[in-house]
Structure 1
Amino acid sequence: MRKASRLFEIIQILRLARHPITAAEIAGRLEVTVRSIYRDIAALQAMRVPVEGERGIGYILRPGFDLPPLMFSIEETEAIVLALALLERTGDADLKAAARRVGDKIAGAVPPPLRQTLSARALHAWGTTPRQPEGIDLATVRRAIRDEEKLLIDYRDEYGRASERTIRPIALIYYSETANIVAWCELREAIRNFRADRVEACAATGAHFRGGGDTLRQVWISGWAENQREVG
């Protein structure tokens, strides 16, 4: 986690805390060292963020300090609640954890009437949740899509045939039974869909296709339109 993001996370944690929270507790939530948290607290205090407390006892955020409120309508807030609930059904552990953090951040930033809507738990998304695939970390795929980095995968198709592919991932589709990786396959020289639960191993290659992601997505999307014309 970058330092700027970590400082924001610390402010959020302190804003939502109802009692002094120790550096060890914060470090545990952010998965960093206690020493890093001490340095971050000092940095926040140097920026005149009113963090009070001391080592071994805990820290609090003095009342009166706040970030600008997020202004959503009731319907927009309900849309957020349902969208976060749907993320619970992706089978992507990192996204599910991120959804919980997003909910906490929004709850701490919106005015009280909207906060009640977020905490009421009146909207739910039911259905089956796919298991997290064993051979690939979906967080790695999402990062490769963002960074436009090629992945090397060991893949077994629906007939059980094994192959090694170098792919350029451009999208990730979450279905109820699995996630599908949309990618340019260098072996087939075409856009292909790879079921995440059929990937037996995955590794980042360090090779990139920077600037090519948007072009490949346009090729992929244009294929939708072609298929629709054929169906019509």
Structure 2
Amino acid sequence: MRRADRLFDIIQALRGKSQPTTAAALAERLEVTVRTIYRDIATLQARRIPIEGAPGLGYLLRKGFDLPPLMFTIEEVEAITLGAHLVQRIRDPKLQDAAESVLSKLQHTIPGELRSHLLSPRFLVSEGDTVRPDGIELRDVRNTIRDCRKIHITYRDEQDRCTQRTIWPIATLYYVDVTLIAAWCELRGDYRHFRAERIVESTILDAVFAAGSGQLMAEWMAKRTMQPQKPDERSAGRPD
């Protein structure tokens, strides 16, 4: 998380609270250390954000403080709201929490005349039927993609056969009915897609792979472009 985002989240966490919030509670919520929270609080106070309190006692945001409104059009608010509701279909708990957080931030920052379009949207998003995976955390997959770390998985195919794989995750593909992990598979020596719900077990390895300044992503995208495929097809487009 960027520090600017974390500072904003601290203000959001303190907003409207009638009782002090401890640094430990903020640290747990934002998944950082207590020392980091102390530094962030000091930074906000130095920027004249009216946060009162002290280490060991907790912190309060003085009533009456508000952030300047963000300027969005009605269409932009509806686009953000629709996107946040669509995220609920993909069965990724952390992204779902993040989508709700986005809507909460907007609710407190956009002008009042736009707030009704956020709170009572004029559309309905149906529930998706993607199966939530048990053998791997999608948040871990996103982290390994960013960190270029390998994952060892036990994978069950459509014939119920299990294989052991070490994969280099490149991207996560979210469809209405399935979530795929695009990766280089060391066993097959080629790009493969793995259905997240068919991963029985997974271990994030310390071993890293060379991202090659996006070379893997470029090769994977080129292969998909040359051989357009649906999510249930083989090679770079089929869950292996």
Shared fold, TM over 0.5: yes
Q: Which moved more, 1:125-134 or 1:73-82?
A: 125-134
* In structure 1, distance between residues paired with 2:33 and 2:208: 32
Partner in structure 2 of residue 96 of structure 1: 96
52 and 123 in structure 1: CA distance in 2 versus 1, 3 angstrom threshold: farther
Mark the runs of 5 or more structure 2 residues left unpaired by the alignment: 230-240
Alpha-carbon distance, 1:10 to partner: 1.0
CA shift for structure 1 position 39: 6.1
Number of residues paired by the alignment? Answer: 226
Matched, 1:18 2:19: no
Q: Residue in 1 aligned with 2:62?
A: 61
Q: Give the superposition deviation at 1:36.
A: 6.7
- CA deviation after TM superposition for structure 1 residue 113, in Å: 1.9
Match of 1:198 in 2: 198
2:21–2:60 Cα contact (<8 Å) kept: yes
For the residues of structure 2 that align with 1:36 and 1:61, how far apart are their CA atoms? 21
Q: 1:20 to 1:219 in 2, by over 3 A?
A: same
Q: Residue by residue, what CA displacement relative to the aligned partner does 1:191-214 show, whole Å, maximum 9, x if unpaired?
A: 101011110111111122243372
| 1:4-83 correspondence runs (5 A) | 5-14=5-14, 17-24=15-22, 26=26, 29-30=29-30, 40-52=40-52, 59-67=60-68, 69-83=69-83
| Structure 1, unpaired ranges of 5+ | none
Change (3 A) 1:171 1:28: closer
Q: 1 CA distance for matches of 2:32 and 2:214? A: 34
Whichever residue aligns with residue 226 of structure 2, its letter is: E
- 1:60 is matched by which residue type in structure 2? L
* 2:152/2:205 contact within 8 Å kept: yes
Contact kept? 1:130, 1:177, Cα under 8 Å: yes
Identical-pair percentage: 42
Local SS of the residue matching 1:135: coil
Indicate the residue corresponding to 1:136 in structure 2: 136
Q: Does structure 1 conserve the Cα–Cα contact (< 8 Å) formed by 2:90 and 2:175?
A: yes
- Distance change >3 Å, CA 36–CA 22, structure 1 → 2: farther
Q: Is the 8 A contact 1:52 1:59 kept in 2?
A: yes
2:118 is paired with a residue whose SS is helix
Alpha-carbon shift at residue 72 of structure 1 (Å): 1.9
Distance 1:33 1:191, change over 3 A: closer
Q: Is the 8 A contact 1:23 1:34 kept in 2?
A: no
TM-score, normalised relative to structure 1: 0.83
**Equivalence for 1:226:** 226
Structure 1 segments of 4 or more deviating over 6 A?
32-36
How large is the Cα RMSD of the aligned pairs? 2.8
Describe the SS at the equivalent of 1:88: helix
Q: So what's the TM-score if we normalise by structure 2?
A: 0.80
Q: Offset at 1:20?
A: 2.3
Work out the CA distance in 1 between the residues paired with 2:228 and 2:132.
32
CA shift, 1:21, in A, is 4.0
Deviation per CA, 1:158-205: give whole Å up to 9, x if none.
112211111111111122333110101111111101011110111111
Contact 1:129 1:177 in 2 (8 A): yes
C-alpha distance in 2 between matches for 1:213 and 1:201: 30
